[in-house]
Chain A
Amino acid sequence: MGIAEFFQHLMNGLTLGGIYALIALGYTMVYGILKFINFAHGDVLMVGAYIGLFLFDWLRGDSPLGLWTLVAFFLAMIVSMGFSAAIGMFIERVAYKPLRKATRLAPLLSAIGVSFILSNGAAWAFGTHSRKFNYPFDNSAIHLGGVVITPHQILILVVSLVIMIILKIFVDKTRMGKAMRATSLDQGTAMLMGISVNRVISMTFAIGSALAAVGGILIALDFKVYATMGTMMGLKAFVAAVVGGIGNISGAMFGGILLGILETFGVAVFGIPTGLKDTIAFGVLILILLLKPEGLFGKVEKEKV
């Protein structure tokens, strides 16, 4: 493998990984606070992608490629983030909140139910055929010394990077971010400190869902939009979250990128058949669970006896 080829795969891996990372953040943030896997997260991504797609098509109308299409794209993305955040908060309020004191299994089952409602509801509402995003700009490849980069890849990388930086600053520096971290460390104490745990949880779902919407729209640039697109994406992003250490925000970012790179290289370099590409993530999950179940950056959590 030549240097150029290596960088080519790395580039492809980074783009894919950036998207995984965005989605993984939602899993990890919710898990950090509620200790529960939000199965419906992948489906929120799908809903976000649909909203973005419809909005973009509508805003764009039949104007030719140009500045307006790019603006329309970002507008659609931002509005979709807002919608998805609202959907995420709504789901939490209706399907998870009543179950905070129930058995461990209850919210998981409820989440599976929500996931099913969303994906099948979308199939019903939007049809089972897949749709494609219109490109918001000219997507002809750029050659950089043997490495081919598409403007999409650049867009994906830039957007995911910017969003992750904003999130990191938000969590580390703002009051709400601190409240979130406190809540994930110890809900009881956080409550005693006057933090409104309900608001923190709502906010967590809102942010996670907004990020999922971005992830969904970015994927949709390269792949298609369909009702069950969230399942596999969600599964892989979850793996990324586990790899990075579930509950750990930087870990999720790293895990996402790592998984993206592993997948790309797995297919391109190690000759894993494309049809079995999805198996890689699963193999990684089993391996990490066996070797380092707390993930690369996670803390070992032992139940206090």
Chain B
Amino acid sequence: MFNFFLLILIYSGIYALMALGQNIITGYGGLLSLTQAGFFAIGSYATAILTTRFGWSFWATLPAALILSAFFGLLIGLPTLRLKGDYLAIATLGFGEIVRNVLNNWDSVTRGPMGIQRIPMPDLFGFTINPYKKYAFLVMVFVFVGIAYFIFQRLARSRMGRALSAVREDEIAAQSMGINITTYKVFAFILGASVAGLAGSLQAVFSLSVTPGTYTFMVSVMVLCMVVLGGMGNFKASILGAFIIQLISYFPQLTGLSSVIPPQFKQILFGLILVVMMIWRPQGLLGREETRYGKKVAKSRKGGAR
């Protein structure tokens, strides 16, 4: 039971990475991307193939997975981001399906539906991070979550984050303020894609095998749910959302009710969460992150008006 709880925590961490990425794209940039699963898959397969075929170490595959998914982010983002927002949703949804299609059919590289097994465990200074001994793995995952959170939070609180917010609020006004909106949108998209790729790498060495069936549209919707439930534009909320959604998805096993609760229960619940949140609490549980300027007013205005 306790072990099971650790497992949920690890998955929460892996999904939290994807949710952080989704939040920068959707929460800050206001762009509806539905393809975290696609980038997740690219990261996973990059690690799986590079370790099993080419004997790379896990750590060496990490940057490769990041760069590869970022590259695909750019590839899909550049044409669609220049256009109206709604197209992006469909284009990315299509992209996710294509990725799965390719994984299923490109037998010589991905081994098709069989997937790739026996991925080596990561190794750190001679210490093997064994996914069966979950503590070490948990620590590793959350180190990554911590780093990603730190970086994203910094970015969001800089003028970059403000520029992205401007793009979300009003593209025309943003342009007229000297902001290159395409650059910022593509940038958000690449960032979001690369953390999803990173999450994919971790997923690969956690389950020690990859199969196309893991990377379905449902994963993208789950990630979206995490961000919407927590609160768009709030990184802490994304992580919180990841925990809650993972708890929900393992609820039947946790409570020992898996024989009673139908397997579609969680997906139906995710769908309901999206609808209900939009109607009754669009800002999510925690709401958009408050900007910090409030505190500074008193201090910086000590001289009073001129």
The interface of chain A, by Cβ under 8 A from chain B, is: 36-37, 39, 94-95, 98-99, 102-110, 112-121, 123-124, 231-232, 235, 238-239, 242, 273, 275-276, 278-279, 281-282, 285-286, 289-290, 293, 303, 305
Contacts and interface: CB of A to CB of B under 8 A. Distances in A.
Contacts of B104: 275
Interface string B252-294: 0000000000111101101111111111001000000000000
13 contacts: A99-B279, A104-B86, A105-B26, A109-B277, A110-B278, A110-B279, A114-B275, A116-B270, A118-B271, A124-B268, A239-B94, A282-B97, A285-B91
Nearest to A31: B86
B282 A116 contact: no
Nearest to B94: A282
A37 B172 CA distance: 22
Given A98-B279, A112-B34, A303-B172, A104 B85 contact: yes
A123 B262 CA distance: 10
Given A114-B271, A115-B271, 20 more contacts: A94-B275, A95-B278, A105-B85, A109-B224, A109-B274, A112-B221, A116-B221, A116-B268, A117-B275, A121-B264, A121-B268, A124-B264, A124-B265, A276-B101, A276-B102, A278-B97, A279-B101, A282-B91, A282-B95, A289-B80
B262 A124 contact: yes
B85 A110 contact: no
Given A104-B85, A120-B267, A124-B264, A113 B272 contact: yes
Contacts of B97: 231-232, 235, 278, 282
Given A108-B86, A276-B101, A102 B282 contact: yes
Contacts, number: 127
Instruction: Indicate the member of A109, A121, A279 with the most B CB atoms within 10 Å.
Output: A109
B268 A103 contact: no
The prevalent SS among residues of A at the interface is helix
B217 interface: yes
Interface residues of B, number: 45
Contacts of A104: 30, 85-86
Interface in B1-53: 26, 30, 32, 34
B92 to A, nearest CB: 11
A231 B101 CA distance: 14
Nearest to A241: B90
Contact of B90 (A116, A118, A235): A235
B305 interface: no
B99 to A, nearest CB: 10
B271 A285 contact: no
